[in-house]
């Protein structure tokens, strides 16, 4: 097993490149990070009414987040207990139940195995369907509309896990009196380690003035403050770290909501 002790020099802010390429380190991360961390799964506005579902991931595990008939929310591994295919093959939508497209096992909104085609003819009479319910995400909590889940039954309480990161999260969530809602989202498939993406908004704010210069050009039409920041004229900001690996970087200028569209200017 690769020992990361020599690869990370926290005191001097140095990180060996192997941290981003070593397959053994990645496998350790799946076990030690993704199997234990509280992960954001979905926002209330993505699953507003019964039967609404959204598919996401915890690490490499596909996870379904589903609004139940009673208004509660459940999450479970999107993997059929028969032979491992995806129970549901679309990213989001509304359903009354989920039927695996391989051999037709169907599951209720809460992941309970509901029906096996021709079960009486093909399975023993004492076959226990309850043993083959979808694997539930054991801990699931809602925080200001955001659903978080973890595979770890013994994970610390989510408030404890967040620690002082709660302040940074609240600063983002509570920014608008009207609250937040998801109106659309982008998904990228990137041919690199997950940490490349994670570090951008958390510890590498310097890249934005160069990498996003084209965005700055467009934003100049819509939001002077944002464009000025992206151009580096106001490069002030804050960097935040806390226990359990939370991190966030942010600009400190006043947020400006665009009031004019490009076509109007
Ligand atoms: S793999 Fe799902 S029904 Fe067979």
For residues 106-130, give the mean pLDDT. 97
Does some domain include residue 108? Answer: no
Position 235 pLDDT exceeds 80: no
- pLDDT, residue 158, reads 87
Position 217 pLDDT exceeds 60: yes
Over the stretch 6-46, which tens digit does the pLDDT of each residue have? 898 989 988 899 999 999 999 999 999 999 999 999 999 99
Does some domain include residue 213? Answer: yes
* More confident site: 232 or 24: 24
Position 230 pLDDT exceeds 80: no
Count how many residues are written for the chain: 265
Q: How many CA atoms within 13 Å lie on the side-chain side of 146?
A: 15
Over the stretch 156-212, which tens digit does the pLDDT of each residue have? 998 888 888 888 888 888 988 888 999 988 888 888 899 888 888 777 777 776 787
Count of domains for the chain: 1
What percent of the chain shows pLDDT beyond 90? 57
| Mean of pLDDT over the chain | 86
Does some domain include residue 106? Answer: no
Cβ-Cβ contacts under 8 Å for 48 (sequence gap 6 or more): 67
Q: Which domain holds residue 205?
A: 188-264
Of 79, 80, 132, the residue with max ligand 1 atoms within 8 A of its CB, to mutate for a pocket test, comes to 80
Does some domain include residue 96? Answer: no
Does some domain include residue 254? Answer: yes
CA 110 to centroid of ligand 1, rounded, Å: 17
CA 87 to centroid of ligand 1, rounded, Å: 8
What percent of the chain shows pLDDT beyond 70? 86
Residue nearest (by alpha carbon) to ligand 1 atom 4: 103
Q: Which of 75, 79, 81 is nearest to 89 (CA)?
A: 79
Alpha helices in 158-260 (DSSP H): 158-162, 165-173, 194-203, 208-211, 213-222, 224-230
Q: How far apart are CA 100 and CA 107, in angstroms?
A: 8
Full-model pTM: 0.84
- pLDDT, residue 258, reads 44
**Alpha-carbon distance values, 261 to 54, 60, 112, 239, 264 (Å):** 31, 39, 48, 32, 5
Position 221 pLDDT exceeds 60: no
Does some domain include residue 169? Answer: no
CA 81 to centroid of ligand 1, rounded, Å: 7
Q: How far apart are CA 128 and CA 147, in angstroms?
A: 31
Q: Which of 114, 84, 110 is nearest to 99 (CA)?
A: 114
8 A C-beta contact, residue 105 and residue 116: yes
For residues 53-81, give the mean pLDDT. 98
Does some domain include residue 15? Answer: no
Which residues line the pocket of ligand 1, CB cutoff 6 A?
Answer: 80, 82-83, 85, 100, 102-105
């Amino acid at each position: 097993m690769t020992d990361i002790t020599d690869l990370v020099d926290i005191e001097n802010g140095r990180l060996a490149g192997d941290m981003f390429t070593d397959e053994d380190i990645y496998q350790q991360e799946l076990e030690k990070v993704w199997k234990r961390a509280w992960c954001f799964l979905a926002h209330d506005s993505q699953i507003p009414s019964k039967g609404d579902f959204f598919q996401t991931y915890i690490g490499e595990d596909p996870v379904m987040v589903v609004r139940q008939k009673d208004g509660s929310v459940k999450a479970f591994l999107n993997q059929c207990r028969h032979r491992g295919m995806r129970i549901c093959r679309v990213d989001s939508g509304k359903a009354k139940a989920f039927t695996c497209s391989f051999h037709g096992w169907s599951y209720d909104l809460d992941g309970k195995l509901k029906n096996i085609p021709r079960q009486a003819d093909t399975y023993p009479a004492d076959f226990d369907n309850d043993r083959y319910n979808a694997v539930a995400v054991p801990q699931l909590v809602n925080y200001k509309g955001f659903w978080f889940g973890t595979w770890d039954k013994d994970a610390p309480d989510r408030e404890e896990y967040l620690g002082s990161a709660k302040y940074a999260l609240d600063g983002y969530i509570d920014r608008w009196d009207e609250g937040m809602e998801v109106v659309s989202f982008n998904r990228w498939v990137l041919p690199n380690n997950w940490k490349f993406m994670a570090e951008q908004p958390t510890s590498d704010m310097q890249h934005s003035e160069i990498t996003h210069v084209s965005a700055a050009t467009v934003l100049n039409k819509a939001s002077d403050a944002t464009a000025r920041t992206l151009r580096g004229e106001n490069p002030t900001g804050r960097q935040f770290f806390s226990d359990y690996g939370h991190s966030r970087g942010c600009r400190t200028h006043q947020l400006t909501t665009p009031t004019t569209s490009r076509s109007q200017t």
